Chain A
Amino acid sequence: MPSSTSSSDPPKGIVRKEGALPAGLRLTASDRPGQAQPVPTRDVPKQPWGRILAAVAVALVAGVTALELNARRLGLEAGDLDNSEVAWVKERVRSENADVAIVGDSRILFDTDLDRFEALTGTRPVQLAIHGTSALTLLEDAASNPNFRGLLIVGLADTMFFQPFDGYGEYVRRRGDFTSPSGRIGIEIDHMLQRRLAFLDSNHRLSVAAHRLDPDFRPGVEGPKHDIWKVSQVGEQRATWMWPRVEYDPEYRARTRWAWKGFKEKFPYTPQLMAKGHARAKAAVETIRARGGDVVFVRPPSAPELRVNEEAQVPRAKGWDRLIANTQSVGVHADDLPPDVQNLTLPEWSHLNRKCATVFTDAYVRRLAALTPRIRLRANAPPPLTRVDCV
């Protein structure tokens, strides 16, 4: 079909060599050496394109409907906003002048109920914790933020804190890469759709789901089956909690526990590494305090099945206790909370379920209010919660 974007006449100057180009090929710049290239030729193949595209549109609607139904069958929900580098950077910008910000790994991320925090104190903290990431990385990032003069709550798992890797939060040092206008617009559009559609979950992308079908046939390879599957749901402003299916589906819960491997993998936490971690933490805390901010620490609970291995690698005396003393900080360790908020439910041993996260938040915020003047309980704060509120 002749088209307005094609030119049937050979442009002037084209070196046409009979037989040089097989029939069916059109000339490209590679066939015209040393000359100004002419307006390209673009054909439209003869097909009923209107009907084809209409059929594609119908199939697409049907496909999206099927994807959505399947997602809901799997327990995915609309309103789960997914986590992303751009979402984190957006909150990082918000933290510049925040009264309270939270940094840390997945435990403080899952185990803090931002709504409860706000109900108790009147302040909604900015959530900057990142799963699989050393809180030290994020503590240092907060120290590098010259505008932050508020209270920084550092939540940590000891083994994660002292590891020498940034983990999933390696992008924190490259946050400038995620501040483009297109990224900011993109995340708004993305969230707008995710508030309505459940299947837009990066944990269930086509290729991710396909890779998880791997039968583990190849000895010596940790296949995608061993990776961590979906564990959390994310709401507005990175509020994060446990995906309900981890709680109610025993098979899925067992798989998640298996993926953690009991935190048995031993990393060499040498005295030098520990000393370096303590020194870095002290320097970062002092930097924040020097400009009028403050830092407190929170150690969320972990189940005995993990705790025994965590303690073997980074004992509390060498990790948490020394961190508090060295930085001259106050902190709330889950072990030290009152008995009625002990033994909270940790379905996959590492994170609290959603209701218990609210109980833990209630407990640690009340404790912090007693330890630092920077957190004050509201006069009309709701009454304290206990373990019975989440079992």
Chain B
Amino acid sequence: MIFNSLTFVVFFAVVLALHYAPWFSWHQKKINLLVASYLFYAAWNPPFVILLWISTVVDWWAAQWMVRSKRDSTRRAWMIISVVVNLGMLAYFKYGEFLLQNFTALAASMGIAYQPPSWDIVLPVGISFYTFATLSYTLDVYLKRAKPAQHFLDYALFVTFFPHLVAGPIMRPTELVPQFAEPRRATAHQLYFGFALIILGLFQKVVLADGFLAPVVEKVYDAREGVPMMLDAWVATLAFSGQIFCDFAGYSTTAIGVAMGLGFAMPDNFRFPYAAVGFSDFWRRWHITLSSWLRDYLYIPLGGNRHGPVRTYTALMGTMLLGGLWHGAAWTFVVWGGLHGLYLGVERWLRGKFGGWTPGPASIFALGILTYVLVNITWVFFRAKDFTVASTMLTSMAGMAANPVPMIALLPMIYAMVIVGGIVATHWAMRDKTLEIAVERTPAWLVGGLLSIMAIAVVAEQGKGSAFIYFQF
């Protein structure tokens, strides 16, 4: 189920009631949470719960055997079993059709007319997220960075804990498993602030992303005919930058609020990314739990920055290409990742070249705007359903389209630009703060007023919209 649904409202009310019911022991409450989490997942497609069980059991035993074995080769074998099982499931469900399509195209290019069987495999929601979460467990144990979980129930609950299960933040076992060791109970203020975070997250998702920004994006990116004018192409792309941020940051904020209401802490996943100056800064602020996962389990093992510049640039590009592919089984995502790899590589080279330069405030702002514009170029490949659409959009954005037509009405355009402008301005105002500090410095009447407006707007928008964009990844 999704957070912006009435089903979830009822579900969460029941979970809260059970979690704070005085007659359950902590052990029983953990079982309640585990069962609730399986129900949360099964509410999409019940059979896919089996995949969660496979992932849980395989990684639990792999870690146990890794610790028990004395020989490195045995430890390595168990680590490889875990990686193969997890990535195997991911590859089959997420990349099977993509691989088949590419194989068919390759065969056709060699004159072989191969007709593949139809691929009717449904992508299990959240498989990319929980696969990475469980993989980090066996990899941390293998790398001797962490000890295995003491109790199977705690580990199973870590894998399945519903706030982070289907769209992150991608949690590491060391972040969550210890929290299950002792009874968790939110204070009244934590519960209330959790609700405030839920309102903020749902407002971002339901009102801003789905209600006001998505229609502007769809109008241009999903247009059946006509080439957009330069203005329309830019507005749609900027609107998408706002939509994807509000969609995903909204999910993360809601998830953090839900977990906080139950007494658990979840990590930040966004740190005002549209105020980033440079791309390494952007990736320290955008989808932090994914970028740090890729850094720790891909970039560093590939050599990181320890083996000379060539190896570093290769590792950087390889990590970003795979990061792109993680988002979706399509070459457009690979190009998106490749562009970010290129940006990071160029930035690294420039830092080496101009390492002594200290930019002033104006330069920082200019570099920040440049970063935002270049990030928007990459969003074109992220949003476009194929390269034809991406090419059309980039041509229009460059003002080089032949016979372009206007596509977005005046008022939706104004709404989109006000919202996106507001997001970017807020990110700059908050770039060196946390949300909590900003809230603390705001008068209570204003906090209450803003939350009231957001809550009413969520109800008025009704939240009957689509699932979160990141669910498809």
Which positions in A face B, CB cutoff 8 Å?
1, 3-6, 22-26, 28-53, 55-56, 59-60, 63-64, 67, 84, 176, 180-182, 185-186, 189-190, 193, 199-200, 202, 205-207, 210-211, 213-225
A-B contact pairs, 15 of them (CB 8 A): A3-B187, A4-B263, A5-B190, A23-B432, A28-B268, A34-B300, A36-B146, A40-B266, A43-B436, A47-B439, A49-B192, A181-B42, A199-B460, A218-B408, A221-B410
| Contact flag A4-B175 (CB < 8 Å), given A25-B271, A30-B292, A186-B6 | no
* A47: chain B residues within 8 A (beta carbon): 439-440, 444, 447
Q: Are B459 and A64 in contact (CB under 8 A)?
A: yes
Given contacts A34-B296, A42-B256, A49-B192, contact A211 B264 (CB under 8 A): no
A39 B444 Cβ-Cβ under 8 A: no
Q: For A223, list chain B residues within 8 Å (CB).
A: 409-412
Question: Inside 8 A of B175's CB, which chain A residues have their CB?
Answer: 37-40
Given contacts A40-B265, A43-B434, A223-B409, 9 further A-B contacts (CB under 8 A): A5-B263, A24-B437, A34-B296, A42-B265, A63-B456, A180-B44, A182-B5, A182-B43, A225-B409
Which residues does chain A contribute within 8 Å of B415, judged by CB atoms?
210-211
Distance in Å: Cβ of B192 to nearest Cβ of chain A: 4
* Residues A36 and B462 in contact, CB atoms below 8 Å apart: no
Q: Please classify the interface of chain A as helix (H, G, I), strand (E, B), loop, or mixed, using the class held by over half of its residues.
A: loop
Stretch in contact with the other chain, from B177-185, B238-246, B369-377: B177-185
Find out whether the CB atom of A182 lies under 8 angstroms from the CB atom of B1: yes
Q: Is the CB of A181 within 8 A of B461?
A: no
Among B188, B437, B460, max chain A CB count under 10 A is at B460
User: Is B85 in the interface zone, CB < 8 Å from A?
Assistant: no
Closest residue of A by beta carbon distance from B453: A59
Contact B192 A33 (CB under 8 A): no
Asked if B266 and A33 sit within 8 Å, CB to CB, the answer is no
Q: Complex: how many Å from CA A190 to CA B457?
A: 18
C-alpha spacing A43/B45, complex, angstroms: 36
Nearest A residue to B140, CB-CB: A36
A45 cross-chain contacts in B, Cβ below 8 A: 193, 436-437, 439-440
Pairwise interchain contact B433-A25, C-beta atoms closer than 8 A: yes
Whether B432 pairs with A24 at a CB distance below 8 angstroms is yes
Partner of B289, one of A29, A31, A84, A206: A29
Known contacts A53-B196, A207-B461, A223-B409; is-contact A44 B190 (Cβ 8 Å): yes
Bound together, the chains give a CA A68 to CA B264 distance in angstroms of 37
Instruction: Give B269's nearest chain A residue, CB to CB.
Output: A28
Does B409 contact A50, Cβ atoms closer than 8 Å? no
Q: Give the distance to chain B from A351, nearest Cβ to Cβ, in Å.
A: 24
B448 on interface, CB distance cutoff 8 Å: yes
Chain B residues with CB under 8 A of A36:
140, 145-146, 172, 174
